[in-house]
Structure 1
Amino acid sequence: MRVMAMIDSLIAAGAERMAVNIANALAEAGIESHLCATRIGGPLEEFVSPDVKLFVPGKRCSRDMRAFLRLRRYIRQNGIEIIHAHSSSLFWAVMLKFTLPSLKIVWHDHFGFSDWLHVRETFYLRMAMPFTGHSFVVNEKLMNFARERLKVSESKLSFLPNFGDLTGDRSKVEPLPDSDMKPKLVCLANLRMQKDHDNLLDAFRLVSGRFDTARLYLVGGHFNDDYYRHISGRIVSEPELKGRVHILGSRNDVAAILDACDVGILSSLSEGLPVSLLEYGMTRLPVVCTEVGECSFVLDGGSCGELVPPQNSAALANAIIKVLENPEEAQAKAEKLYNRVVEYFSKDEAVKKIIGVYKSLVGDR
């Protein structure tokens, strides 16, 4: 069985990390695994297993026929049978199937704005569904969206929880700024408006009033856009933030950073099933998180971490302070989260389900 995972890029974000995790896991399971980043590579290239064949055709736009033909040639030369298309890569996967009808298409929907599905465009997705052999979704809201809005039949639809994989993440460690300062807070999220870093910065201003040596580390990629300039501008201009909040960008030593920190935070307006939350759990890091998407499911309704309403910086600050002032209780919840991640978000179970779907499409090979 020859499978190609397809994703737009390899920036350090949730869907991209899952594409790498799945490609690596398939190779571990003995499947010939290929990974295509249609547009560009990125920091996650370092985590692609040597057993996974990486291909970057260099797509410049959705109508880049030269890149499309390069990818088509690669698929034919390597005998690819299944394309596991993540997120918007579905559209190129379907175009490839038009020219190579024997290809089987699996779509993996990671749509992160799952609280705003009522405004999601459906026309092109519905056009693609008849050519898609199976669809994986990462939360119940996306499951309902696929059933009700995309008219996907139950036999072609599966819930597939994300899973974390920090293997090898401790191999190259860069020192943290102000490494001698405590407590250390970390937010593992790309700098995008959906992640609501303004809420986090407002909360941190309150936290630093109680813990004047606190430091906040923002780990994740950015696009050098207006949102990034706004957040970085606040950090350098506001006295309560300047010198205390550090933008680290995309990092390849995420596990080491999490090991060094005291609280993991997500302040998002909307989420699907965030891989960051699973990675906090894998490192037994106490968690404070907004109650959006599947965060409550991951944290078992708050028994494995602190849940707060979105866009409420006072509630977020109070929850962070609670964790810092009650370390034994916080660590007990972190241990429960670790056990829950191991039980419900297992790589082995996810890979077993994925391979089962592949076999239903091409047979047991």
Structure 2
Amino acid sequence: MLVNARGTAARREPGSGTKLVYFAGGDVFGGVEQMILTTLERIDTRRWEVVLMHYADAEIGPLLCGARAAGIRTLAVARSRGSAALRIMEIVRALRAERPVIFHAHLPLPQYCRTPILAAAFAGVPAVVATAHLFQPLSNRRQATYQRILNRVIDRYIAVSNATAAELVGALGVPKRKVTVIPNGVPVEKFACTRGMRVACNRESSGTVFTSARLHPQKGLGDLVEAARLLPGVEFLIAGDGPLRAELAAKVQGLGLAARVRLLGHRSDVPALLQSCDVFALPSLFEGLPLAVLEAMAAARPIVACDIAGVREAISDGETGLLVRPGHPDELARAIRTLLSDPPLSRRLGRQAGERARREFSAKLMVERTCHLYDELTSN
């Protein structure tokens, strides 16, 4: 029987796996939800009895369908429109019924974890884990107070990059002993070059640039459209959806680029699109460790990305891609032009990116490290 610091025991049926509740708190399917799915598809369900908990009104169909296909039970909880206490109690009731040994919350920013994390603490879950995918400074005293509480009740933070870990400790006051760095991982075999995977692109163009991202200001996609204006004859494909779609579409139309810049919406054939492009570009303004870049690395594509924390931990300038300053579409266009005009350089950068992805950013390695952390927590 495992007893946590709050003195609550978690019972486990003889012969059953250790119960683990994953909490997906996002409203739409994005990079965080994809990483959860990648983990759930690979976790040993003989060792871990996994339940995926989510808000009932969240639009995360691909995650739920994928989890169920992997044999993972899903559990919806209502998102109360009342007080914070009511929202917490909805999750507390569900957790008391499930009696997990570990509660693992995945949310984009640590500040967004507070409702499910506090619920796990009130429910007496022995081990509480939170993955921090991004960092955002605390903006007021109320947030700082909540963060101090979270730092007490969370047993372990997982940071997806060293940069995120440093911010958790330095800016959010998380004790260093509570932070473990586990880089995001992708199914490298899924993105490796496979005969027949390519999709049709405009072969009359001077090259095809592809990106896969949520259409959100964070991703800097307006800069990519500006770069397209500076590269006549080059085709740009943007896969993904989000709140910026209408604004981006208007920008593309306004610049007269509709024939060359295509907003593809959500796509399930990203591996094939990667194999079809000449360059992958992601001009994000800030990131934790972007899955889209790791996927492009696994596909051995030449990459242009912004020189920001998190990205630098995957892309070494001139070795596994080219880095440019964020918010500078002229530099972005110049780097894309360099890769399109220098096939030997593109092949070398793509090959080295693929080798690094297999070595450091595989889904297998990510899941192994995560399960090792679970074992450490349950044996403590």
Same fold, TM exceeding 0.5?
yes
Deviation for aligned residue 1:142: 2.2
Counterpart Cα distance in 2 of 1:177 and 1:119: 46
Alignment of 1:265-304 (within 5 A): 265-304=281-320
Q: How does 1:120-199 map to 2 (within 5 A)?
A: 121-165=143-187, 180-182=203-205, 183-199=207-223
Cα deviation 1:8-67 (Å, max 9, x = unaligned): 236342222212222222246742222222241325324334222222324265847777
Match of 2:250 in 1: 233
What secondary structure is seen at the aligned counterpart in 1 of 2:42? helix
- Of the three residues 339, 354, 361, the one matched with 1:323 is 339
Deviations 1:260-313 (A, max 9, x none): 222111011111111110000111111111111221221123311111111111
> What whole-Å deviation, never above 9, does each CA across 1:114-159 have from its counterpart, x for those lacking one?
4x64758543222111111111112223212222333333332111
Residue 247 (1) aligns with residue 238 (2): no
Is 2:4 the partner of 1:4?
Answer: no
Structure 1 equivalent of residue 14 of structure 2: none
Q: 1:68 and 1:334, CA in 2 relative to 1: closer, same or farther beyond 3 A?
A: same
Q: Distance in 2 between matches of 1:29 and 1:314?
A: 52
Q: 2:239 aligns with which of 198, 219, 224?
A: 219
Report the counterpart of residue 53 of structure 1 in structure 2.
73
How far residue 342 of structure 1 moved from its aligned partner, in angstroms, is 1.2
1:338 paired with 2:354, answer yes
Tell me the distance in 2 between the aligned counterparts of 1:336 and 1:245: 28
* Contact 1:236-1:243 within 8 A present in 2 as well: no
Q: Give, in whole Å, the separation in 1 of the partners of 2:90 and 2:28.
A: 22
Secondary structure at the counterpart of residue 302 of structure 1: coil
Distance 1:245 1:43 in 2: 28
Q: Report the residue type matching 1:75 in the other structure.
A: L
Whole-Å Cα distance in 2 between the matches of residues 283 and 295 of structure 1?
A: 17
- Is there any run of 5+ residues in structure 1 with no aligned partner, and where? none
> Which of 50, 60, 73 is the aligned partner of 1:42?
60
What are the Cα deviations for residues 233-269 of structure 1, in whole angstroms up to 9, with x where unaligned?
Answer: 0112322x11211111222222122122221110111
Secondary structure, counterpart of 1:54 in structure 2: strand
| Residues 295-334 of structure 1, C-alpha deviations (whole Å, 9 max, x = no match) | 1221123311111111111111111011111112101111
Question: Aligned residue for 2:224?
Answer: 200
- Does 313-322 or 116-125 show the bigger shift? 116-125
Q: Is the 8 A contact 1:40 1:59 kept in 2?
A: no
Does the aligned pair in 2 maintain the 1:23–1:34 contact within 8 Å? no
Quote the Cα distance in structure 1 between the aligned partners of 2:181 and 2:198.
39
When normalised by structure 1's length, the TM-score is 0.86
- Give aligned pairs, total: 352
TM-score by length of 2: 0.83
Work out the CA distance in 1 between the residues paired with 2:346 and 2:82. 47
Question: Which stretch of structure 1 is more off in the superposition, 246-255 or 185-194?
Answer: 246-255
Residue 312 to residue 119, structure 1, CA distance change in 2 (3 Å) = farther
Gapped runs of 5+ residues in structure 2? 1-17
> Which whole-Å CA distance do the structure 1 matches of 2:362 and 2:280 have between them?
21
Instruction: Quote the RMSD (CA, aligned, Å).
Output: 3.0
AA matched with 2:374:
Y
Seen in structure 2, the aligned counterparts of structure 1 residues 137 and 69 have a Cα distance that, compared at 3 Å, is same
Q: Is 1:255–1:283's contact at 8 Å kept on the other side of the alignment?
A: yes
**Corresponding position of 2:15:** none
Counterpart amino acid of residue 19 in structure 1: I
In the alignment, the residues of structure 2 paired with residue 145 and residue 273 of structure 1 have an alpha-carbon distance, to the nearest angstrom, of: 14
SS of match in other structure, 1:362: helix
1:32 aligns with 2:49: yes
- Judged with a 3 Å threshold, the aligned counterparts in structure 2 of structure 1 residues 260 and 10 are, in CA distance, closer, same or farther, namely farther
- Could you say if the C-alpha distance between residues 339 and 168 of structure 1 is closer, same or farther in structure 2, counting changes exceeding 3 Å? closer
Q: Give the Cα–Cα distance (whole angstroms) in 2 for the partners of residues 62 and 135 of structure 1.
A: 29
Counterpart in the other structure of 2:34: 17
- Separation in 1, partners of 2:61, 2:273: 16
What one-letter code is carried by the residue in structure 2 that aligns with 1:99?
A: F
Q: Is the contact made by 2:188 and 2:299 (CA closer than 8 Å) also made in structure 1? A: no
Aligned with 2:23: secondary structure?
strand
What is the deviation of 1:353? 2.2
Please tell me whether the aligned partners of residues 208 and 279 of structure 2 are also in contact (alpha carbons under 8 angstroms).
yes
The residue identity in structure 2 corresponding to 1:337 is A
Is 1:96 the equivalent of 2:119? yes
